[in-house]
């Protein structure tokens, strides 16, 4: 159960996480963001930039949630928070369905009406976004993002930091490589290599991303 947390990030993704934390009965003490983001977000104050994290930890605030949409940046900030001694609790909205045999890593976020199916594993800092359906025996990699409305059939493997775009569908057994991007509304019927960008129905290669 969530208690008192600080959220790192103050954009739209942070708003959704604030509401999910509160729906679980947790308290958002405040947000860590750039100094020019001074206005409260859904009533949660901006506490300062990254420089305030050591002081917050010293004040016995021991849990942080990374509310950053960029996958690579979310991974880096998560590791920084852990290095300072923060725990990274997972957030599961009360309206989500989480199978009893599903496994969630540190800092995972499962949004409203999402489904995480039987014997599925979701690695640290991954996002299963609003109304996404991740069926049985899936493996979702470190800091990956399954966007709203996606449908992943059984035994899909999604690599670290990959993005599966809004409303995409993946057939059983698909492998999506690390750092790949699947465009919104795509139908994926073939494996996607590392760092590739694909889109369409059926999804076709667009280009390869530069190395991260």
Residue 145 a catalytic site member: no
Give tens-digit pLDDT for 36-95: 557 889 999 999 998 999 999 998 889 999 999 999 999 999 999 999 999 999 999 999
Let me know: does 204 contact 189? Beta carbons within 8 Å: no
Q: Which of 90, 93, 136, 145 is catalytic?
A: 136
Percent of the chain clearing pLDDT 70 (strictly above): 95
For the cut 70, the answer to whether the pLDDT of residue 211 exceeds it is no
Whether cis (ω within 30° of 0) applies to the bond prior to 93 is no
Percent of the chain clearing pLDDT 90 (strictly above): 88
pLDDT at position 212, please? 41
Distances (CA, A) of 211 to 89, 178, 195, 196: 30, 11, 7, 10
Here the tokens at position 131 are: 């109304």
**Which domains are seen in the chain, by residue range?**
4-83 (3.40.50.20), 95-200 (2.160.10.10)
Sorting pLDDT into bands at 50, 70 and 90, what band is 208?
Answer: low
Tell me the whole-structure pTM to 2 decimals. Answer: 0.94
Give tens-digit pLDDT for 95-140: 999 999 999 999 999 999 999 999 999 999 999 999 999 999 999 9
């Amino acid at each position: 159960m969530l208690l008192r947390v600080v959220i790192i990030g103050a954009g739209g993704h942070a708003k959704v996480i604030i509401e999910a934390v509160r729906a679980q009965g947790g308290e958002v003490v405040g947000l860590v963001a750039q100094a020019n983001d001074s206005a409260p977000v859904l009533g949660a104050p901006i506490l300062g930039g990254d420089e305030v994290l050591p002081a917050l930890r010293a004040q016995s605030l021991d849990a942080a949630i990374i509310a950053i949409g960029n996958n690579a940046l979310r991974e880096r900030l998560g590791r920084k928070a852990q290095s300072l001694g923060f725990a990274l609790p997972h957030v599961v909205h009360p309206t989500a369905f989480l199978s009893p045999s599903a496994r969630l890593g540190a800092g995972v976020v499962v949004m409203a009406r999402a489904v995480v199916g039987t014997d599925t594993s979701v690695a640290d800092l991954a996002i299963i976004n609003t109304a996404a359906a991740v069926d049985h025996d899936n493996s979702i990699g470190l800091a990956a993002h399954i966007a709203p409305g996606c449908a992943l059939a059984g035994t899909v493997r999604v690599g670290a930091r990959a993005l599966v775009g809004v409303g995409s569908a993946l057939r059983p057994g698909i492998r999506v490589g690390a750092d790949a991007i699947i465009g919104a509304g795509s139908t994926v019927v073939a494996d996607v290599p590392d760092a590739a960008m694909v889109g369409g129905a059926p999804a076709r290669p667009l280009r390869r991303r530069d190395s991260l």
